[in-house]
Chain A
């Protein structure tokens, strides 16, 4: 398994950490990494907004006949729908144009993995808005545990460090040391 590099982006889109573990990707200048972090931050937000919105056409499964007419469902059935946490925004001007996401009950996220010919980018956003970008070999399975461990190290050696200022660049030698040691132990 190959982990190329790790980038951490704070909740404002600023680059706060960048480390290369194994060669494979091109090296960028610090400025380019800053631009990349900002760009990704924006793209990440856009990828969430372009989630396909499916018109909510559902009737109850029992009365589900082959009426393919575009009959508008009553707002009552639309609201009583098991739409979960996707929070469809009802259109106030029309009674019908409530939409739902493809997978109801799952909160829409932004990009969480991206594949190219040469690498796979896995993005994990914490509930506090920090983004971890992990660049790995496209064939590597089980990125999830690696990401969890990185988050754990971050919580331990960055957040518990009295000399770390929130949202500022991460310069914690213990974080680097533990992360490097752990990744080396896995290969």
Chain B
């Protein structure tokens, strides 16, 4: 299973955390065993030069992804009722998983199409990582404009571990 990227949006529709994983350079078609290695940092500011074009679009990507999940979530609620939840969608190229906390924080993960449902995984990230290392962190502010407080070492480190060890 390959995880491509991961986003957290707060209740103000702001992207407070984003992270992209890139497959190993060896991952050319055929050798699909690539585990994601993290090369992009949380704010994508120190992305490798190689990402030239892509890096510029990550900000836009986050906005587009938020727009997408927001529209789809509303659509799903309209059709399925207020208690219905949008879980995942799939295209020919990737799968997007969605988890929304009762406090309206949205967790989004993009993976390859073969991956199973990630609802539990996203929930675990919320409970075991986000709550533990961000919410309970006395130094972290209540709100996280621009990602302040989320991008702390503990959270990033454990997210990294979770994605590379648990999910692949």
Contacts and interface: CB of A to CB of B under 8 A. Distances in A.
A–B direct touch, CB within 8 Å, in complex?
yes
Interface of A: 25-26, 28, 32, 36, 39-40, 42-43, 46-55, 57-59, 61, 64, 67-68, 70, 72, 81-82, 91, 93-94, 96-97, 99, 101-119, 135
Contact of A106 (B23, B76, B85, B92): B92
A119 B80 CA distance: 7
Interface stretch (B66-74, B122-130, B133-141, B142-150): B66-74
A68 B24 contact: yes
14 contacts: A47-B68, A49-B64, A53-B57, A54-B27, A57-B27, A61-B28, A61-B31, A81-B28, A107-B92, A108-B93, A109-B91, A112-B91, A114-B89, A117-B83
Interface stretch (B8-16, B46-54, B151-159, B160-168): B46-54
B38 to A, nearest CB: 12
Contact of B93 (A52, A97, A135): A52
A107 to B, nearest CB: 7
Nearest to B73: A116
Given A68-B25, A103-B92, A117 B80 contact: yes
Contacts of B78: 26, 28, 32, 36
Contact of A111 (B23, B49, B89, B112): B89
B90 A113 contact: yes
Given A46-B68, A91-B52, A116-B85, A109 B93 contact: yes
A83 to B, nearest CB: 9
Nearest to A69: B25
B53 A118 contact: no
A72 B94 CA distance: 26
Contact of A46 (B54, B64, B84): B64
Contacts of A117: 80, 83-85, 87
B103 to A, nearest CB: 19
Contacts of A111: 89-91
Interface string B21-37: 01111111111000001
B29 to A, nearest CB: 5
Given A97-B54, A102-B4, A135-B79, A67 B25 contact: yes
Nearest to A28: B78
A55 to B, nearest CB: 6
Contacts of B25: 57-59, 67-68
Nearest to A65: B26
B44 interface: no
Most A C-beta atoms less than 10 A away, residue of B24, B76, B79, B89: B79
B132 interface: no
A102 B85 contact: no
Contacts of A135: 79
B42 interface: no
Nearest to A50: B64
B102 interface: no
Contacts of B54: 53, 55, 97, 99
A129 B65 CA distance: 23
Contacts of A49: 64
A102 B110 CA distance: 11
B1 to A, nearest CB: 12
